[in-house]
Amino acid sequence: MTPTFPDISISTDRLVLRPFDEADVPALAEMMTDEMVTAWTALPHPYTTAHARAWATGKAAAVRTEGRGIALAVTEFLTQRLVGTLHLDHTDWRIRSTEVGYVTAPWARGEGYASESVLAVAQWLFRDQNFERIELRTAADNTASQQVAQKIGCISEGVLRNAWIARSRTEDGGWTDIRTDLIVWSLLPEDLEGVPGRLADANGFSYPEWN
């Protein structure tokens, strides 16, 4: 039987990371049509409401039930507004390793939400799920994503040359595919030594305390 992650929600003092639901569809569709998201992800373009609904009501949950990882909606604690997404994928259960990816909505950038959500999930993985490695891959020119990796203490391990296809605007306002390198980052349990203490949630899991 393939191992799976538990069906959980994770809270910090500013955010709640939870499973997707139908109510997320409008904000998810809007978020994924943003130009930065289009440029740096492999999502369909144009990204439609139908794509968002298929993800929120079925495909996101399948990531967990199939044992590949977990997909979570990142929402503000106070407003409950969707401010991003976080997913774990390519999980290797034998070596307890997984790859993390994240998207921040254009209306929520500059608040540190991506690093806060990734670090909360990293704490949970290392301390409650006994994982030993988290991997991130960022496009060579995606400085915003690289800053998230650096902020949470990831170590750059090298470059995968010509390993990704990004998108770039054309003169006529369309999009064209461009080849780019990927920077590989890793985070191990010992890299989080000295991170502030944890808070327990209603499910018994505990996460970083944010100041």
- Of 168, 166, 165, which is closest to residue 176 (Cα–Cα)? 168
Q: Give the pLDDT score at 97.
A: 98
How confident is the model over 93-107, as a mean pLDDT? 97
Q: Give the pLDDT score at 153.
A: 95
- Residue 82 in contact with residue 18, Cβ under 8 Å? no
What pLDDT, in 10s, does the model give residues 110-134? 999 999 999 999 999 999 999 999 9
The CA distance from 198 to 193, in Å, is: 12
What ranges make up the beta strands (E) of 38-187? 70-76, 82-92, 97-104, 133-139, 155-169, 175-187
- Of 106, 20, 86, which is closest to residue 56 (Cα–Cα)? 20
Query: Which domains are present in the chain?
Result: 10-196 (3.40.630.30)
Q: Give the pLDDT score at 196.
A: 56
